[in-house]
């Protein structure tokens, strides 16, 4: 059976649960969807606590909200850094694979160039032989 998986698919299969989870968290937290959702929740939190229709569970200056943000940042930063470190490793491995591909392609082109030069020399030799024959 022929293996048709590309480099990225093969690499993804080597990732464990934690690696995939941290990549997903980093991808989610780095999206506009997350920023917009978090902004809406923060505005809603502040409005409900300022207006006072409901019980003020976090009065101004929103100490509980600050605690939630600090906790989120404390967990998000290392998770995002793990994902970035993995991305750097992926980039390094891919650059190495690209380099090897370029080396292999160079060797193949050099071999083809030698073959083409040999064919050209053989053709020229035949043409010269034919011209000498015509002179006689």
pLDDT tens-digit profile of 85-108? 888 988 898 899 899 999 999 999
Q: Report if pTM > 0.85.
A: no
The answer to whether residue 10 is domain-embedded is no
Contacts of 22 (CB under 8 A, 6+ apart): 79, 80, 82, 83, 86
Does residue 55 or residue 24 have the better pLDDT?
A: 24
In a domain, 2, yes or no: no
Flag whether 6 is in a domain. no
Q: Is residue 4 part of a domain?
A: no
In a domain, 83, yes or no: yes
Distance, in Å, from the CA atom of 66 to the CA atom of 29, rounded to the nearest integer, reads: 18
Number of domains within the chain: 1
Comparison of pLDDT for 110 and 12, the residue scoring more: 110
Residue 3 inside a domain? The answer is no
Average pLDDT estimate for 35-62: 84
Q: Which helix (H) or strand (E) holds 54?
A: none
Residue 83 CB neighbours (<10 A): 21
Residue 108 lies in a domain: yes
Which pLDDT band, with edges at 50, 70 and 90, does 37 fall under?
Answer: very high
Is 123 part of any domain? yes
100 by Cβ neighbours in 10 Å (0-12 / 13-18 / 19+) ranks as exposed
112 pLDDT band, cuts 50/70/90, is very high
Helical segments of the chain, H only: 7-14, 17-29, 32-51, 63-135
- Structural domain boundaries enclosing 64: 19-135
Band of pLDDT at residue 8, cut at 50, 70 and 90 = low
């Amino acid at each position: 059976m022929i293996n048709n998986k590309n480099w990225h698919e093969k690499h993804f299969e080597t990732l464990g649960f934690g690696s995939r989870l941290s990549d997903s968290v980093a991808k989610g937290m780095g999206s506009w969807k997350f920023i917009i959702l978090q902004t809406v929740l923060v505005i809603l939190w502040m409005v409900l606590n300022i207006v006072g229709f409901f019980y003020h569970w976090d009065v101004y200056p929103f100490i509980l909200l600050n605690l939630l943000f600090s906790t989120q940042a404390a967990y998000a930063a290392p998770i995002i850094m793990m994902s970035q470190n993995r991305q750097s490793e992926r980039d390094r491995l891919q650059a190495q694979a690209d380099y090897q591909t370029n080396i292999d392609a160079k060797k193949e082109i050099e071999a083809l160039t030698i073959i083409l030069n040999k064919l050209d020399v053989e053709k020229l030799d035949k043409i010269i032989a034919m011209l000498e024959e015509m002179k006689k």
